[in-house]
Amino acid sequence: MDIEAINSLPYEDFVSIFGNVVERCPIIAAAVWSGRPFPSGAAIEAAINAFIEALPESGKEGILRCHPDLAGKDLQSGTLTPESREEQGAAGLDRMGAAEVSRMTRLNAEYKARFGFPFVVCARMNDRTSIVEQLRERLGNTQAQERARGVEEVKEICRLRLQSLVHSDQKHKL
């Protein structure tokens, strides 16, 4: 979709299309809609990032809590959002054996117990081996480090999701 078409979308359509660029947070798309017209896809991304950065720490943690566990029950039961299903599949998380799933379940539980929100990493930029390695490594971080890192991962996920939706006039994505 080009920027002209995006800028002409009614509120409901904009929220419907962009409501999951930040996982299960359509309120973010609703909030940035009023910033139209956007000069580019990058401007939409900047508006979303500014909204996220303006949130109090509890709001940032709330965004992290909207993310599913990687290779978790939502993947196993088929209840992931289409975007998450595609991203986890691209990382190979849907092809893990029972022992790998068990290890991920244990690490995810340990992470959530330590930080109070799910482990968030841009699955599209990783494979299942690197995801497990990062999960183990990041368990050693502080709460503040993990919140900040998780928010940066959310922004990367958002950037890639926007790329798949917004095409610039030069026929390039974001």
- pLDDT band with cut points at 50, 70 and 90 for residue 115: very high
pLDDT over threshold 90, residue 17: yes
pLDDT at 167: 85
pLDDT over 90, % of the chain: 95
pLDDT at 168: 62
pLDDT over threshold 60, residue 159: yes
pLDDT over threshold 60, residue 169: no
Which homologous superfamily is 68-150 in? Oxo-4-hydroxy-4-carboxy-5-ureidoimidazoline decarboxylase (1.10.3330.10)
- Tell me the catalytic residues: 67
pLDDT over 70, % of the chain: 96
User: In whole numbers, what is the pLDDT of the chain averaged over residues?
Assistant: 95
pLDDT over threshold 60, residue 27: yes
Q: Which of 163, 156, 164, 151 is nearest to 66 (CA)?
A: 151
Contacts with 18 (C-beta within 8 Å, 6 or more apart), sequence order: 29, 32, 44, 162, 165
Torsions phi, psi for 173 (to 5 deg)? -90, 150
pLDDT over threshold 80, residue 156: yes
Query: Residue ranges per domain, the chain?
Result: 68-150
pLDDT over threshold 50, residue 173: no
The predicted model gives 90-110 an average pLDDT of 97
